[in-house]
A and B are shown apart, each in its own frame.
Chain A
Amino acid sequence: MKNKNFLYESQKLAFWYWTLALILFGFQLVFGLIIAYQYIQPEFLHKILNFSIGRLLHLNAMILWLLFGFIGGIYWFLPMETEREIVGLFWAKVAFGLIAVAVGIVVAVFLLVQIGKADWVTLWFITEGREYIEAPRWADIGIVAVFSIIFFNVFATIWKAKKLKGILWVLVIDLLAIIGFYIAGMFFTPNISVDQFWWWWVVHLWVEATWEVLVGVLVAWILMSVLGTPRKIVEGWLYLEVFLVFGTGILGLGHHYFWIGAPEYWLGIGGFFSALEPLPLVAMVVHAVYDAGVHRLKTVNKPAFFWIVFQSFGNFVGAGVWGFMHTLPQINLYSHGTQITAAHGHLAFFGAYVATNIAMIYTALQKVRLNEGQILDGGLWKWAFVSLIISIFGITAPLTVAGFAQTFIERAVGGSSWQAYINGQLHPWVKESMVWRFGFGIMFFISYLLLVIDLLKIGKKPAIA
């Protein structure tokens, strides 16, 4: 690297994680396109790569690349926070190697073996067969091991540096929660109600609580780095955010317990607390607008700044608005299990997590490629930024329309039976939406390529201030 800036070893490792993350991002999109096309042309790859396998790879590639992005962020910012190299560098590198190998094995098994017999061998070595946590159990244990190594590294580095700043506190506790909640997903029970009860501890408490807080930590660091926001202000917001995210998100878990066989009090608790879940997201939008105004949109790192401002809006609209749309039990009784959920998922994950990861990588590139006083900017990132945002809305909108049609035709009128499902799927609002979704999916993929090209090139010829 031609920069004159000093980099910690841990920060170099961060780039390894981000590289792997971006490759998996590409995989996610390829499988996403395949399954989106199967909605239009069900015979496509039928029997070779059935929808279920494509979807499983689409989902898991996403979960992993986002996680690897976050891990990269931790390894990037931690040495700067503690002003020292991380303690267990060797183990961090070992963990990276294990991750790369494990991901390769799991993907190969998913592609080549795909399904197993109804026995324990399948659960341990092929798939657990539970949406979002399909990984075989050995890989689950691996994920816990890797996060334990990260936890150790964070904790030991803070300990050695004797610097327990506020943000690090939150990170340490959040990492513990991430490890703890994941274990809730690692057992078998014939009782599907109990199964799904714990399954949501991983799926909801990860994504709607611990991930949101982890992203809060990363965004705090990005803001300090890109805008020079004072630590005191960032910390105050972070605590408020943790209060609101955990305060609403932990019992907001109840919105997943409406129909799984759990007692009726969850209808009220889940409905109430998940109605409050957008609160921290509104707070973040207010904060982002305020920050942008104070700085009159002037910053040393244009792409990171724009992505982080978009993050607050994307998170609010995707997780907040699209989430709230179908979170009340009276509505959810009919909208549950329709494309509305998929619409919400696509926009929320992009707004909250994809945007954060991209902003983080741009933040790091500035340090790697530019000298003090130079500005990270260019033309290409704007194209990628705008077209990624247009295409994710282009994916979300038709899914929402399809979801509404399903809600009415399949669920409310048709009574959710097999034939009612087919009637819903044959409705033009669903059929045509799937074509639109696929089209915008292609646009998203092209935008992804623009993003990758920009990440490879930006800052190599510094823009003039």
Chain B
Amino acid sequence: MKLGWLEITIFSIVLTVVISALFVRGKDWLDPGFWAVFAIVGSLIMFSVLWFLTFDTLKKMSLGSKRVPSPTVINHRVGYEFDPERKIYVPTIGEEEPFFGKKWSEDEAIQLITKGKLAIQSRNCMDCHTLLGNGAYFAPDLTKSWLDPKWETMIKPMVGAQTKEEAIAKWIQNPQYYATWQRRMPNLKINEEEAKAIVGYLKFMSAIDTNGFPDHFGKSSLAY
């Protein structure tokens, strides 16, 4: 079902005003009771609309939906390209490519993603980094960090890894060994298994359709 925001907005406001007006007929507008009706009707209608939209939204962003891919997306090349029709950048899911040298089954991929999210929460990543733009601003945004050119250009040679996923995994296990700039990531005692899971999570997260945020990620030549 395609829902238009304008229809929803107008519907909820008109409904609030009409129903409230019906209940306050004959009441003086300086009487507190007049506004009590508006308060109750307004809150109930807005909350009902939110509830209705919640079901729709949760369905549209469940794992494996168009907006939030299945965890098996880690078996594919992920990109970020401008979509002329939507006029925003959207994730692209390309041909198969091995992740840590293998193809992950659906179960394995889900387990990896779950572990990755647990690792991210257990290390409080959000209190320095932003994920989907939410969190603290002490360290770079991780929303599309899998697609960051720096992994290939700087970190891979620095840590001596064969692939991007290995480079990230090595780097986050021992960030203190590799200089980037004066603000340094502390060693968060991430073991190898957890590091793999975190990298899996970053790849999975980069394939979420975020309505174009962050705009032209990693595409600016001015950033280098």
Residues of A with Cβ closer than 8 Å to B? 35, 38-39, 42, 46-47, 50-53, 55-56, 114-120, 122-123, 126-131, 134, 166, 170, 188-197, 232, 235-236, 238-240, 242-243, 246-247, 250-251, 253, 256-269, 272-273, 333-334, 336-339, 341-342, 406, 411-423, 425-426
- Cross-interface CB contact of B134 among A126, A131, A232, A246, cutoff 8 Å: A131
With known contacts A42-B182, A51-B128, A197-B57, A190–B117 Cβ distance under 8 A:
yes
Binds A, one of B95-103, B157-165, B205-213: B205-213
Identify which of B9, B63, B118, B133 contacts A191 (C-beta below 8 A). Answer: B63
Contact (Cβ within 8 A) B136 A55: yes
Q: By the criterion CB–CB under 8 Å, are A265 and B209 in contact?
A: no
CA distance A425 to B211 in the complex (A): 26
Q: List 7 A-B contacts (CB under 8 A).
A: A51-B138, A123-B121, A127-B124, A194-B68, A265-B4, A266-B57, A337-B133
Which chain B positions have C-beta within 8 A of A264? 5, 211
A250 & B43 in contact (Cβ 8 Å cutoff): yes
A71–B205 alpha-carbon span in the complex (Å): 40
The residues of B that contact A197 with a CB separation of less than 8 Å are 54, 57-58, 61
Report B-chain residues with C-beta under 8 Å of the C-beta of A194.
58, 61-62, 68
Give the contacts of B1-39 with A (CB-CB under 8 A). 3-6, 8-9, 12, 16, 30-32, 34-36, 38-39
Assembled-state Cα–Cα distance A111/B118 (Å): 20
Does any Cβ of A come within 8 Å of B179's Cβ? no
Q: Which of B36-94 contact A (CB under 8 A)?
A: 36, 38-39, 42-43, 46-47, 49-50, 53-54, 56-58, 60-63, 67-68, 71
Number of chain B residues whose Cβ lies closer than 8 Å to a Cβ of chain A: 97
From B39, B115, B134, B136, give the contact of A118 (CB < 8 A).
B115
Which residues of chain B from 200 to 218 have a CB within 8 Å of any chain A CB? Answer: 205, 208-218
A42 CB to nearest B CB, Å: 4
Residues of B within 8 A of A242 (CB): 39, 43
Other-chain residue from B39, B212, B218 in contact with A417 (beta carbon distance below 8 A): B218
Residues on A with beta carbons closer than 8 Å to the beta carbon of B134: 131, 196, 256, 260, 337
Contact (Cβ within 8 A) B126 A131: yes
Contact A265 B8 (CB under 8 A): yes
Indicate if the CB atoms of B150 and A251 lie closer than 8 Å. no
Is the Cβ of A411 less than 8 Å from the Cβ of B63? no
Provide the residues of chain A in CB contact with B121, threshold 8 Å.
118, 122-123, 127-130, 188
Q: A52-B124, A251-B12, A262-B57 are in contact. Are A246 and B205 (CB under 8 A)?
A: no
- Complex CA distance for A338 and B224, rounded to whole angstroms: 20
**Any chain A CB within 8 A of the CB of B127?**
yes
For residue A417, give the distance in angstroms from its CB to the closest CB of chain B. Answer: 5
With A246-B46, A415-B223: A342-B62 Cβ-Cβ less than 8 Å: no
Chain A min CB distance to B208 (Å): 5
Query: Is there an interface contact between A239 and B115, defined as CB atoms closer than 8 Å?
Result: no
Instruction: Indicate if the CB atoms of A243 and B42 lie closer than 8 Å.
Output: yes
Q: A197-B61, A240-B38, A417-B150 are in contact. Are A247 and B43 (CB under 8 A)?
A: yes
Residues of B within 8 A of A261 (CB): 61, 67-68, 132, 208-210
A251–B136 touching, CB < 8 Å? no
- What chain A residues lie within 8 Å of B31 (beta carbons)? 236
Tell me which residues across on chain B come within 8 A of A425, comparing CB atoms: 183
CB pair A417 B127 closer than 8 Å: no
B16, A247: Cβ atoms closer than 8 Å = yes
CA distance A388 to B105 in the complex (A): 58
Q: Is the CB of B183 within 8 A of A259?
A: no
Q: Do residues A239 and B216 form an inter-chain contact, with CB atoms below 8 A? A: no
Question: Across the interface, which residues of B come within 8 angstroms of A418, CB to CB?
Answer: 140, 145, 148, 150
Q: Which of A47, A334, A422 has the most CB atoms of chain B within a 10 A radius of its CB?
A: A422
Chain A residue nearest to B210 (CB atoms) is A259
Contact A117 B122 (CB under 8 A): yes
Given A261-B210, A273-B9: A339 in contact with B35 (beta carbons within 8 A) = no
Interchain CA distance A115-B114 in the complex, whole Å = 18
Against A, the Cβ 8 Å flags (1 = close, 0 = not) of B136-149 are 11111101110011
Partner of A192, one of B60, B124, B148, B205: B205
6 closest A-B pairs by CB = A268-B5, A129-B121, A416-B214, A259-B213, A239-B35, A52-B127
- Are the CB atoms of A413 and B220 closer together than 8 Å? yes
User: Does B42 lie within 8 Å of A129, measured CB to CB?
Assistant: no
Q: Which residues of B contact A267 (CB under 8 A)?
A: 5, 211
| Closest chain B residue to A342, Cβ basis | B137
Contacts of B209 in A (CB 8 A): 261
- Contact partner of B131 among A123, A189, A192, CB < 8 A? A192
Q: Are A235 and B61 in contact (CB under 8 A)?
A: no
Evaluate contact between A421 and B217: CB separation under 8 angstroms.
no
- How far, in Å, is B169 (CB) from chain A's closest CB? 14
Neighbouring A residues of B60 by C-beta, 8 Å: 262-263
CB-CB under 8 A for A251 and B50, given A269-B9, A416-B141: yes
Q: How far is the CA of A188 from the CA of B223 in the complex (A)?
A: 36
Question: Given A240-B35, A419-B223, A422-B181: A115 and B124 within 8 A (CB)?
Answer: yes
What residues of chain B lie closer than 8 Å to A417, measured between beta carbons? 140, 148-150, 217-218, 220, 223
The residue from A56, A260, A423 contacting B210, defined by CB atoms under 8 A apart? A260
Residues from chain B with Cβ under 8 Å of A412 in the complex: 215
The answer to whether A239 and B132 touch (CB under 8 A), given A129-B123, A129-B124, is no
Query: Are A337 and B150 in contact, CB atoms less than 8 angstroms apart?
Result: no
Tell me whether B217 and A236 are in contact (CB under 8 A). no
> What is the distance, in angstroms, from B171's C-beta to the closest C-beta of chain A?
11
Taking A166-B36, A247-B46 as given, write out 17 further A-B residue pairs in contact, using a Cβ cutoff of 8 Å, ordered by the A residue number.
Answer: A38-B138, A115-B122, A118-B121, A119-B122, A123-B122, A134-B124, A188-B117, A192-B131, A236-B35, A247-B42, A260-B210, A263-B60, A269-B8, A273-B9, A337-B214, A414-B220, A416-B141
